[in-house]
Copies of this chain bind each other. A is one copy, B any other.
Amino acid sequence: MSSEFGRNIRVSVFGQSHGRAIGVLIDGLPAGELVDEEELAAFMARRRPGKDALSTARHEADIPIFLSGVKDGRTCGSPLCAVIENEDMRSSDYDELLDSPRPGHADYTAWVKWGGLADMRGGGHFSGRLTAPLCIAGGISKQILARRDIHVGAHLAEVAGIPDDVFPLSPTPELFRQVAEKTFPVLKDAAGENMKSAILKAAEVGDSVGGVIECAAIGLPSGLGEPMFEGVESQLARALFGIPAVKGVEFGAGFTSARLTGSQNNDLFFVEDNNIRTKTNHCGGILGGITNGMPLMLRTAIKPTPSIALPQQTVSLSRRESVELVIKGRHDPCIAHRVVPVIEAVTACVLLDMMFDRLENFTQE
């Protein structure tokens, strides 16, 4: 149950960082949907490491192999399983960590939970590497949603305190496309350059930085979501907090709304082309857990990469005494930019699941 989300379209992730393969099982997809492997590869490339000095040197081809659920390039109604075989692993880097948990990682809590029984090489099942299969599920979900004119896009809203622009009130698919094609996913390139400098500066001193990601979904029907605990916010938050390094989730104005007055924060209704819209979108497109037809807007906080080159104090689990730890191996001085497509992916999966009873098997095209 732990590595699974969704109610009608369920996404289950499996694999350990240094195991034989990682993968995803998706149960409940409509049949007849084209799986455009080229488009999927382009989407997955956005989270792949090793592109420049900003990220780890680990190289993974990350090519999904479809074991089931796809026939002649289309979904066929039965559960879809796709795997990525692991390669380029250096498990020896992790040998000494078994007794000395890395600060900020799940090493310690995994040791408490499973004793030494977990496979924690490379972070095991907790590794950011598990976001690759999430991107397979999300990439397919994005394709299916796009055929219904629903689009999900995201950008780096902030790195090391340096802000990007914010999404406009009504983002367009074209805007999402433009950001997705950039090697560094920001709206304002000048802000992106500053962010990159901050990342490289942190890297130079063996440190790391975090960031904030803004994500939007456009084209959603109004009336999506159920009251209270099956509301859009509840379902998205549950899934988003499953992504490693996410420590905060807010919708619309979020924590900022707590500082506004009611008259500032309320989004006033008006009629435009016979459609009911709101002048602002502080609620992020959700009222009472249900979509109101305005763009869905959310932000997630990504903590700085816990793996840093600087020496850190930790403990020896066996000797119960303090030790100094120096983490070897390759690490990202920032992961926030690589998490951008992962946020899109998980958001798309949840929205597709919530759209479940409005989808039909899709034969045309």
**Stretch of A36-44, A52-60, A179-187, A252-260 with 4 or more beta carbons under 8 angstroms from chain B:** A252-260
CB within 8 Å of B: which of A35-80? 65-69, 71, 74-80
Min C-beta distance of A174 to chain B, whole Å: 27
Whether A267 is near chain B, meaning CB under 8 Å from some CB there, is: yes
Chain B neighbourhood of A233, CB < 8 A:
241, 246-247
* B14, A79: Cβ atoms closer than 8 Å: yes
Annotate A280-320 by CB proximity to B: 1 below 8 A, 0 otherwise: 00111011111111000000011111111010111101001
Copy number in the complex reads: 4
- Max chain B Cβ within 10 angstroms of own Cβ: one of A227, A270, A361: A227
* A103, B1: Cβ atoms closer than 8 Å: no
* B229, A77: Cβ atoms closer than 8 Å: no
* A255, B248: Cβ atoms closer than 8 Å: yes
Chain B neighbourhood of A27, CB < 8 A:
1-4, 12, 14
Annotate A213-229 by CB proximity to B: 1 below 8 A, 0 otherwise: 00000000011011111
Partner of A265, one of B10, B222, B231, B304: B304
Whether A138 is near chain B, meaning CB under 8 Å from some CB there, is: no
Whether A109 is near chain B, meaning CB under 8 Å from some CB there, is: yes
Min C-beta distance of A64 to chain B, whole Å: 12
Min C-beta distance of A157 to chain B, whole Å: 9
Chain B neighbourhood of A15, CB < 8 A:
67-68, 78-79, 81
Whether A351 is near chain B, meaning CB under 8 Å from some CB there, is: no
Q: Given A20-B67, A23-B81, A229-B238, do A320 and B271 touch, yes or no (CB 8 Å)?
A: yes
A159 to B266, CA, bound (A): 17
Min C-beta distance of A18 to chain B, whole Å: 9
* A269, B103: Cβ atoms closer than 8 Å: yes
Whether A124 is near chain B, meaning CB under 8 Å from some CB there, is: yes
A315 to B292, CA, bound (A): 14
Whether A342 is near chain B, meaning CB under 8 Å from some CB there, is: no
Whether A137 is near chain B, meaning CB under 8 Å from some CB there, is: no
Whether A200 is near chain B, meaning CB under 8 Å from some CB there, is: no
* A234, B229: Cβ atoms closer than 8 Å: no
* Nearest-CB residue, chain B, relative to A67: B21
A257 to B293, CA, bound (A): 32
Chain B neighbourhood of A270, CB < 8 A:
313, 315, 322
List 28 contacting pairs A-B, 8 Å CB cutoff, sorted by A: A1-B10, A1-B27, A2-B79, A2-B229, A2-B230, A3-B227, A5-B234, A14-B25, A14-B81, A15-B79, A15-B81, A16-B68, A23-B68, A79-B125, A81-B83, A104-B287, A108-B287, A109-B291, A110-B288, A130-B228, A210-B259, A234-B239, A247-B254, A248-B257, A260-B304, A264-B304, A266-B312, A271-B315
